[in-house]
Structure 1
Amino acid sequence: MHNKQSYFKILIFTGCLMIFWGGCKSVVKTYQSPNVEIDSLFRGNHLITNDSANIGSLHWKELFRDSLLQALIQEGIDNNLDLKVAYSRIFQAAAYLKQSELSNYPSLDADASIEYSKKISTSGAVSHVHQYSLGVDASWEADIWGKLKSAKKAQMAAVLSSEAAAQAIKTNLVASIARNYYSLMAYDKELSVTLTTVDTWKQTVKVMKDLKTGAKVTEAAVVQSEAELYATQVSVPDLKRNIRETENALCYLLGRDPGKIARDSLSVKEFIPLFKTGVPAEILAGRPDVREAELDFRQAFELTNVARTYFYPSLNITANGGLSSNDLSRFFSTGSLVGGIIGGLTQPIFNKRANKTRLEIAKQDQLQALYNFKQKLLGAGQEVSNALYSYRSATDKIAPRTLQLSSLHKAVDYTQELVRNDFADYSEVLIAMQSLLSAQINQVTDFLQRNEAIVNLYAAMGGGWQ
């Protein structure tokens, strides 16, 4: 009868606690996305249209149509070590999430023990006592204030953040491979132009020597033309070094040993129209690094909620049951059954400022995450603005550069002919040839700038991870 009354009291107490729990108001706050102004985020909004087709939403194969470049990008995605590390971090975060999803369930432990003791009576008699025990212990923390729920939300944000981080790495990887690929083709073109110019200078030196023999120019003209030949030849080793270093950089991105890179030759390759860039909101939604920063803020927000709950009492219910007997032959009899249940509230009173410190640190972590999110937005605006204007400026230079080269080719031909007929000084030939080489190299730089601007714009709008 006494045992029944005890269990009845425990049940009543537990029921009161549950009623108290149901009447408790959650102390955690509801998450809201940071309120930031994005309409003025991009300089030169006239370059951004309201077209719904955003270049950042394209698959990288739709933008980069060079089959050799596509093969390199795919190899990088398959083998890049930074990307593999990012994927591993996703699995880690997912494992923590699975653990947090079970936090609302009770923990259960089983134990078995044999206790031996020896007793000596006052008369000197010795008795041996064995106590055999087998049971289970269960404990459960009720989520009164939303601590466990907020912790789970924080871990979910961590998983999504790690996924966004991997997407950001993939975006940068695709862009880096494309940039190095175009740089490699540009160096090839510069080397080809330089070697062609070396051959031209050799012909010029021969012509100057013939003209000196005919007393039409002086030895100074011959020496000056030779000096220009040697100056052009000096740039060849540097270009070859640049080619080799760029190949090595590409191999690093691809996760392979340094070696040759298969590539096309630089030409005016057509890309999709860039007027379809999307509106600012679409651009930001497509950037994985911006999503990562917001998810980091979300995680910090939920962890601040968790820190708040430590100021309030926690409800813990512990139960145990099993078998216990000092006679192994009667171990499984009803008389060996034991059990109990305990429910209680624990209110922190003084714990050396641990709870207050925890909350202050969590709030500062949340504030830092907010600043980081805003900084990512500013960086996104800068990158998009720079890429758009860079493409515009590179495109604007194509027409006048073409006209410049046409005029310089004519200037070289005209001055060489005039020198042969004593109507011009040899210095005019040298100046014309120097200008032609410089313009040819600049044309290569213009095409490289335009290609890099497209790559940068694609990455700035969050393209490449799809």
Structure 2
Amino acid sequence: MTPVTNQATSLCQTDMRFRLTLLAFLLPLALVLQGCMFGPNYRRPEIETMEKYRFGEKVARDIADTAWWEQFGDPILNELIRIALVENKDIRIATARIEEFQGRYGATRSELFPQIGGNAVAERHRSTSFIGPIGFLGNIDPYYSYYEVSINANWELDIWGRIRRLSEAARHQLFSSEAARRATILTLVSSVASSYIDLLILDRQLEIAKATAATRRQMLEVFRMRYEGGVISQLELAQIESQYETAVAAIPPLESRIGQQENALAVLLGRNPGPIARGRELAKLELPMVSAGLPSELLMRRPDLREAEQNLISANAQIGAARALYFPRISLTGMLGVASTQLATLFTGPAYMTAFGVLTSVPIFTAGGIAGQVKQAEARHEQALVGYQRAIQIAFREVEDSLIAVQKTRAELAAQTRRVEASRTYLEMAQLRYDEGYISFIEVLDAQRTLFEAQTTQAQTRGGVFNSLVNLYKSLGGGWVVEADRIRGQMEAGSQENKSTPTDGNLRDTANHERTKAEP
């Protein structure tokens, strides 16, 4: 072995020992410093909770955790909610958004680990003859090839916790997107139930309007015969004709509203606008009881509150990531490969090459750029904090409003029911006294109008009772959202095994079966 070769070998060994020593020093140092993170650690803000609600009426935990819509006893409503949980477009968008944040979290967290890549180069070059003190001699070929295969590595030492804070922020953004999806489920189930109840209200009002028009048509035929016989005047005939046409004119607007309500409900189901099957009538829906035992702390399970808190945690972590920008960014870099001008000698010993180093980037003058990023992060945290506090206050208000509505609409329904009975008695007595000649027909018409308005208002109030319960369950949030999500998962698994979904024909069959059972 020549002296030059021995010297080269010694230099290579010395270089290798130096690199191993440097690596052995930096790696433990990096692992120790990895435990340091700038920025505040999250602590849940102290929130003043309500010890009890305005009324003693509360909702038990078991009711808040079950599929409450099944308590109405309408299989069509249950089926519509199942369809909406699978086919609604808003839920699909929310699910896709979760996948987006999963990818964002994975991409951010990957920066904690070494980044390794490979390069392969094959080039053909021609050198210029004007480089160097003398040009190429005539017997030297200016063309040459270059081949290289290498593996590159780069690892940023997260000494100040910048990447860990960004990963923390991304992780809680992922949790926030999951909470947002469940908030979408909460809103969807409540909207389907409310829309279906509104549809039953309109059905009942249309039934009342048609029954009133049919009754007045019969009266009109009788009055025409009386008028032709000279028993009544043309004035009385015109009065009953006017009332009949008024009843007929009330039907088309209700039919129009029913069609529009069906279209709106179909869109919630993720389908094109079209007719919606019905189950039980409004008066035959079962009214769940509101029992006692719900502490106000259970409201913290609401998806929108979870979403707001996760956004707050994420904003808190971003403060530390912004503050870490003031400090140097240190990365370990390395390269291992082979290079040669001859492909045949590419993987031989002399073609071996390696490099190892430490790359440091230090901010010296940024003209307030880093300070601006810190200020932005702190301002976003303040916005998230106030938004979280506001969301809690809104949640308590919604529960209070729903409890008031449940109590008062029930009282109103009882009063409206008594009004309908009184109006029906009023009409019967007015008709009897008119037949006996004691009063004019105007009082009979007034009694008819009173009964029609009372029945229509009663239907609206009865639906309002059910809607107030829907709003109460929505404002409570709770475990029923998890139950709805579980039902959705089962439905999706079933739809993948069997591609067919429940059709309107299936819903009509179920509705007909339910109506047949309800008939005496």
Normalization by structure 1: what TM-score?
0.92
What does residue 70 of structure 1 align with?
78
For the pair 1:396 / 2:411, whether they are aligned, the reply is yes
Query: Does the CA contact (< 8 Å) of 1:217 and 1:426 recur in 2?
Result: no
Paired residues for 1:44-443 under 5 Å: 44-48=54-58, 51-53=60-62, 55-60=63-68, 62-115=70-123, 116-118=125-127, 120=129, 122=135, 124-125=137-138, 126-127=140-141, 128-209=143-224, 218-264=233-279, 265-276=281-292, 278-285=294-301, 287-443=302-458
Query: Does the CA contact (< 8 Å) of 2:72 and 2:288 recur in 1?
Result: no
Note the residue ranges of structure 2 that are not aligned, 5 or more in a row.
1-9, 486-520
Specify the code of the residue in structure 2 equivalent to 1:124: L
Which secondary structure state, in structure 2, belongs to the residue aligned with residue 46 of structure 1? coil
Query: Does the CA contact (< 8 Å) of 1:284 and 1:380 recur in 2?
Result: no
Q: In 2 relative to 1, CA 189–62 (structure 1 residues): closer, same or farther, beyond 3 Å? A: closer
Distance of 2:408 and 2:336 partners within structure 1: 79
Cα offsets for 1:82-116 (capped at 9, x unmatched): 11111111111112222233222111121122343
For the pair 1:461 / 2:476, whether they are aligned, the reply is yes
Q: In 2 relative to 1, CA 401–130 (structure 1 residues): closer, same or farther, beyond 3 Å? A: closer
Shift of 1:71: 1.2
Distance of 1:72 and 1:448 partners within structure 2: 18
Shift of 1:447: 0.8
Distance of 2:231 and 2:45 partners within structure 1: 78
Distance of 2:330 and 2:267 partners within structure 1: 55
Q: In 2 relative to 1, CA 329–198 (structure 1 residues): closer, same or farther, beyond 3 Å? A: closer
Specify the code of the residue in structure 2 equivalent to 1:38: T
Structure 1, 220-229 or 133-142: larger mean CA deviation: 220-229
Specify the code of the residue in structure 1 equivalent to 2:137: G
Distance of 1:395 and 1:181 partners within structure 2: 20
Structure 1, 9-18 or 87-96: larger mean CA deviation: 9-18
Distance of 2:418 and 2:228 partners within structure 1: 36
Query: Does the CA contact (< 8 Å) of 2:434 and 2:440 recur in 1?
Result: yes
Query: Does the CA contact (< 8 Å) of 2:36 and 2:161 recur in 1?
Result: no
Query: Does the CA contact (< 8 Å) of 2:213 and 2:247 recur in 1?
Result: yes
Shift of 1:137: 0.9
Structure 1, 456-465 or 306-315: larger mean CA deviation: 456-465
Query: Does the CA contact (< 8 Å) of 2:57 and 2:292 recur in 1?
Result: no
Q: In 2 relative to 1, CA 43–230 (structure 1 residues): closer, same or farther, beyond 3 Å? A: farther
The CA RMSD over aligned residues, in Å, is 2.4
Query: Does the CA contact (< 8 Å) of 1:211 and 1:420 recur in 2?
Result: no
Which secondary structure state, in structure 1, belongs to the residue aligned with residue 282 of structure 2? coil
Identical-pair percentage: 24
Query: Does the CA contact (< 8 Å) of 2:41 and 2:316 recur in 1?
Result: no
Q: In 2 relative to 1, CA 109–25 (structure 1 residues): closer, same or farther, beyond 3 Å? A: closer
Distance of 2:45 and 2:282 partners within structure 1: 45
Distance of 1:179 and 1:388 partners within structure 2: 17
Normalization by structure 2: what TM-score?
0.83
Q: In 2 relative to 1, CA 80–402 (structure 1 residues): closer, same or farther, beyond 3 Å? A: same
Q: In 2 relative to 1, CA 421–375 (structure 1 residues): closer, same or farther, beyond 3 Å? A: same
Which secondary structure state, in structure 2, belongs to the residue aligned with residue 310 of structure 1? helix
Shift of 1:458: 1.3
Query: Does the CA contact (< 8 Å) of 2:198 and 2:463 recur in 1?
Result: yes
Shift of 1:61: 5.2
Cα offsets for 1:173-207 (capped at 9, x unmatched): 11111111111111111111111111222233345
Note the residue ranges of structure 1 that are not aligned, 5 or more in a row.
none
What does residue 49 of structure 2 align with?
38
Specify the code of the residue in structure 2 equivalent to 1:402: T
Structure 1, 183-192 or 267-276: larger mean CA deviation: 267-276
Which secondary structure state, in structure 2, belongs to the residue aligned with residue 35 of structure 1? coil
Distance of 2:69 and 2:247 partners within structure 1: 39
Distance of 1:222 and 1:176 partners within structure 2: 47
